[in-house]
Amino acid sequence: MLLELRGLEVRYGGIRAVKGIDLEVGAGELVCLIGANGAGKSSTLRAICGMTRVYAGSVRYAGSELSGLPVHELPRRGLVMVPEGRGIFPQLTVEENLSMGAFSRRDTEIAGDLDRQFETFPRLRERRGQTAGTLSGGEQQMLAIGRALMARPKLLLLDEPSMGLAPLLVAKIFDIVREISAQGVTILLVEQNARLALEIAARGYVMESGLVTLAAPARQLLEDPKVREAYLGEGAA
């Protein structure tokens, strides 16, 4: 497994946000983590990246323990996160934001990767000299994903990529996520839009109140009556 969580626990003061979960993502997989707001999904991603302290348990990536590793070291190892809220640099241009994604690289292929991002995201090419803070929400999400891809990730963590976007842009973002997965990038997707997440994922985990309550192939979760009632807006069969 490329990513393994064992007994992961995250606390904020006396509050147990993540209560000892197990989760796995194999190389090349697209795995989704779904659940209601406040279930602990984003806290799980933040713990993987070292942005939130791991209270107990282990986070293993490519066979090595990540807990305690400096956050800036993770992109060098191929682990990159697109945070909830996008986290772009609003005063920098589109091109400068993308270049920041390759900050830790020292190879000679950065210019080629920049061109590839402009091919994947034609809107960003049109706005390459525009300051990122003036982009629409959908364009900023594309920029955040493109910036992450500039680091050449082996594992891409996506935290709520559809949040705040119009339905047409949500569909576009999910098409892009599917395309990135088809190129061989391993993805762990946290998403409140459970139906879309499960439609593109191979496997899924359901979180409730800090616990993983279901783990199964995505198609099986789509057909699960409890999932359909709680997360897909359908009545119980």
pLDDT per position as a tens digit, 198-226:
999 999 999 999 999 999 999 999 999 99
CB atoms inside a 10 Å sphere around CB 205 = 26
CATH 3.40.50.300 maps onto the chain at: 3-78+153-231
The dihedral of CA 85, 91, 97, 100: what is its sign?
Answer: negative
- The string of pLDDT tens digits covering residues 149-167 is 999 999 999 999 998 888 9
Alpha helices in the chain (DSSP H): 41-48, 94-100, 110-120, 122-126, 137-149, 167-182, 194-200, 218-223, 225-231
The encoded tokens of residue 63 equal: 């066979």
β-strands 30-34, 64-65 pairing:
unpaired
**Which position has the token pair 């602990």?**
40
Say what the pLDDT of residue 237 is: 43
Whole-prediction pTM value? 0.94
Say what the pLDDT of residue 170 is: 92
**CATH class (in words) of the domain with range 3-78+153-231:** alpha beta
182, pLDDT greater than 60: yes
CA distance 152 to 167: 28
Enumerate residues 6+ apart whose C-beta is below 8 A from 201. Answer: 30, 31, 32, 189, 218
Say what the pLDDT of residue 235 is: 57
CA distance 215 to 220: 9
Rounded mean pLDDT, 11-33: 97
Say what the pLDDT of residue 46 is: 95
Is the Cβ–Cβ distance between 210 and 16 less than 8 Å? yes
**If DSSP codes are grouped into helix, strand and coil, which group holds residue 186?**
strand
Identify which of 97, 105, 82 has the alpha carbon closest to the alpha carbon of residue 151. 105
